[in-house]
Each structure stands twice: as structure tokens, then as C-alpha cells.
Chains A and B, each alone.
Chain A
Amino acid sequence: LVRAAQHGDRDAIETLLRQHYDNIYRLCRRIAGNDADAADASQEALLSIVRGLPRFDGRSNVGTWIYRVTTNACLDELRRRKRRPVTGLPVAETTAETSPTADAIVPDRIAIDEAMTHLPPEFRVAVVLRDLCDLDYAEIAEVLQLPPGTVRSRIARGRAALARQLGGNRSPSHGRPRGEP
């Protein structure tokens, strides 16, 4: 599939993009912190993937390469966002008329987005690649082109900062618990 896509086969490119689009968007959503920037970043990521495919040398897994391209697109989007005014929705407007389920979920989502926004991007990316994309430390090191020890440190410090941020704002029982290793 990848080889065909590299040779410009439209069907192969489309299949590849469809396979990875949801993960790309979710990664962008967590790093960018809002839907609008996530949409922009994921669109840029798709364009970068399509344009960069002929140069993909196959030394890494294509999924890892896509995460690397996506991460760079997200970081570029964050840099662009710094140069333009932020137009976020006020919390009260978002939660004014919502169902009971939404009442429970929306504040937590906002709290997570808020906490993520306060996390410096280099820590945010490492944490999101681990917790959302489920990459191991070696894969994250490959995506970010960093030593594994740096990845380990950034994840630890990033999670600790998020724990401090979320400590007073969010019910710790909300997250879907997963089995410990």
C-alpha cells in the first residue's frame, strides 16, 4: 500500500489517509487543545504526508513516520496560533444547555484542555504520543528524534505538571481506568 501510494496511486493514498486520519486528528486535537486548530493542523498534516510520501525511505514504520509528520504539523500550528488572537468559547456558553451526561463530561474536558494548554508543547507532545497514541518510549524517541532518556524525563515531568493542574479541578474518578501493567 505504501509503495503504491509513493508511486502516486490515488486509491492507495486515499486508503492510507483513511486508515490514519482518526489517529491524526486525535493527536492534533490533544496537542492543539481545540477543535478548530486541530482541524487546521490535521489538514496540514495530511498535505505534508501526501507531499512527503515519495521521500519516505521506509526505514521507520509508516505509522511512526505519520506521527512525526503530524506532530510537526501540530507544532507549526501552535506557532502560528501564537501570532494570532485566540477566540475560544467561554465556558458558560458551552455548558448553558446540556444534558446531565454532558454536565458531567464537559467540565472535565475543559479542565483537561486547559491543563494541556498550560503544558509546554515539548512536554505535551511527549505525553500525548505516549498516552493517546500508545507509542512506547523508543517509538516516541524516533518520532521526536530525541534520546529515550529525554522522552522518559519529559513524560514524567509532563504528567506531574498535569497532575498538579488537574488536582483541584477534576474528579480523579472520572477517567476510564485501565489495567495497570
Chain B
Amino acid sequence: MSTPLPPSAPDDELVNAYLDDELPDTDRRRLEADPGLMARAAELAAVRDAIRSDVDNPGAAQREAAIAAALEAAPAPAPTPLPRRHWPRVIAIAGAAAAVALAVTLVAVTSRHTRQSTSAITVATSGSKAASASEAPLSSLAGSGPSTTAPAVGSAAVAAPNAGPASTPASAAGGTPAAGASINARDQLAALALALADNGSAPIKVCPEPRPGARYRGSFTWRGTPAQLFALLDAKTGRPVLAIAVASSDCHVFASTTVG
């Protein structure tokens, strides 16, 4: 597209910069003291003013038609995110309530743990010895996908999920789950295994003291979507839930399972 133009006259760049208010004061004073340069400035100013003038605005009909056509081509609106201001309060309430519920769970499970030797999914444990014991079955679940074997109750914060249908709906097989979508027990376990597994990123932290409301997994990929794993409170039942949430543009919980 480039077509050569003759080089500009000496000092033309200086004169144009003067017209465009892009000249330092020292150069400006020097130029204003030179009648020849000021004459050239007047000539180029006439050109500048000619370009500025004489452009009609489009008619109203043309404007409306153009805007309407552009609006028709606009992409569909994005889903409305949850109001952000609700989240700190929800998480605070969830944390407090979940603390109580998980403490109860901890006591119950610990007493049962003495009678039961199996454990599968553990987020928090009461000691380093228990932690090392709990990691073995997790590694066997990692990356295994949906499992039909429901593990026994874990030792602390995250117990076996007890919600959802027995099988996965076909529509929930992939992609980003819809808001409020339920999740069955089998898929929940698969998600937990994925979240808890050391799949190249930092493994989940084993907490000596369960802290409901805390994130148990900063990020992992659930059904192709970056997700986080943490405990919340179910607004309807008041029970703590293990939630898998995506946090790309907003904190959008799309799956949860009641804990304990």
C-alpha cells in the first residue's frame, strides 16, 4: 500500500510539531522568531483547518440502521454472574457452621475409625501418622475417572458423599456444568480424587486441624473447567457441603455434596 511521497521540506516536521503543540518551549521560541517558518506554519495550518472542516455527520436514518445492524451481530450476553458482594458473607457463615458440623463429624468418624480399617478420601487428619496412612488410597483414585466403588468414610473433614443419583446423566458427561447442577456420588468421588491427587501441581494440603471454609484445593480441572474445592454450608439444609466451584470470572458453585 505504501506509495512514496517526496520528503518534506527542511523544518517541516518542526513546523508541524509546532502546529500540533508537540514542540518543546525552546524550539517553539526559535520557530516563532523566524518569519519564514511562521509563514510555512500558516500555510500548513490552512491545510489542517480544511481537513477539520467540511465533514458532515451522517443522517439519523443511516446512524440508526448502522447501529441496529451492529447490534444484530453482537454476541449473546454472557451468563449473569452471582453478585460478588454475597460471597464473603456466604463463606463466613459456611465456615462457622461447617466448623461445628465437621467437629462433630471428626469425633464420630474418629470413634468409628477405631473399628474400621478402611479409609479412602481424607482431606484433613488429626496427625502426621494418620496423614501418611490416608495418602495411599488417594493415589489409587487419582486420574481414574468415575469410579463405581464407593470408598468408606474418611477420617475427618471430607466424608463419603451421600447425595446424587446412582448414575451420571448423559448431559453431565462433559463441558461446563450448568448452574446448580447436581452431581452424583460416583462423579463426586471422581472429582475428589482428581482434586486430591498430585497431578503435577501442588498436592492437597493435609490439615492437622480441619478448617471449614478453607480451600482444600487451589485449582484443578473439573470437566474441562478450572475449579476449586472447598467446604461451604448448604443454604437449605444448613449442613456443610463439599463444593466444587469454578472461579474464572466469578465464584460459581456448580457441584456440591453434603459432608458427614
Contact = CB atoms under 8 A, between A and B. Distances in A.
B2 interface: yes
Contacts of A136: 20-22
A120 B77 CA distance: 41
B67 A153 contact: no
Interface stretch (B40-48, B89-97, B104-112, B210-218): B40-48
Nearest to A42: B66
Interface in A16-74: 17-18, 21-22, 25-26, 29-30, 38-39, 42-43, 46-47, 49-51, 54
B251 to A, nearest CB: 16
Contact of B62 (A39, A131, A156): A39
Contacts of A120: 1-3, 5
B17 interface: yes
Contacts of B50: 108, 112, 162, 166, 170, 174-175
Output the residue of A13, A131, A161 with the most chain B CB within 10 A.
A131
Contacts of B8: 153, 156-157, 160
Given A156-B8, A180-B41, A29 B46 contact: no
B1 A10 contact: no
Given A22-B57, A152-B13, A160 B44 contact: yes
A159 B44 contact: yes
B49 A177 contact: yes
A122 B53 contact: no
Interface in A77-127: 79, 105, 108-109, 112, 116, 119-123, 127
Q: How large is the interface on A (under 10, 10 to 19, 20 to 34, 35 or more residues)?
A: 35 or more
Interface stretch (B68-76, B146-154, B239-247): B68-76
B54 A108 contact: yes
A116 B47 CA distance: 11
A75 B1 contact: yes
B47 A163 contact: yes
B16 interface: yes
B54 A159 contact: no
A25 B61 CA distance: 13
Contacts of A121: 1
Contacts of A137: 20, 22
A130 B49 contact: no
B33 interface: no
Interface residues of B, number: 48
B68 to A, nearest CB: 9
Tell me the interface secondary structure of chain A in the complex: helix
Contacts of B20: 130, 136-137, 155, 181
A13 B73 CA distance: 11
A17 B67 contact: yes
A43 B70 contact: yes
Given A121-B1, A132-B51, A152-B16, A8 B77 contact: yes
Given A163-B47, A170-B50, 18 more contacts: A8-B74, A9-B77, A13-B74, A18-B63, A25-B57, A39-B62, A46-B67, A50-B70, A120-B3, A127-B51, A130-B20, A153-B8, A156-B8, A156-B16, A159-B47, A163-B44, A178-B52, A181-B18
Interface of A: 7-10, 13-14, 17-18, 21-22, 25-26, 29-30, 38-39, 42-43, 46-47, 49-51, 54, 75, 79, 105, 108-109, 112, 116, 119-123, 127-128, 130-132, 136-137, 152-153, 155-163, 166, 170, 172, 174-178, 180-181
30 contacts: A7-B77, A8-B75, A9-B77, A10-B71, A10-B77, A26-B55, A29-B56, A30-B55, A43-B69, A46-B66, A47-B70, A47-B73, A50-B71, A54-B75, A132-B51, A132-B55, A136-B20, A137-B22, A153-B8, A155-B16, A156-B12, A161-B6, A162-B51, A163-B43, A163-B44, A166-B47, A172-B46, A175-B47, A176-B49, A177-B45
Interface of B: 1-3, 5-9, 12-13, 15-22, 41, 43-58, 62-63, 66-67, 69-71, 73-78
Ranked nearest first, the 6 interchain pairs of A and B with the lowest CB-CB distance are A175-B49, A8-B77, A120-B3, A46-B70, A181-B21, A131-B51
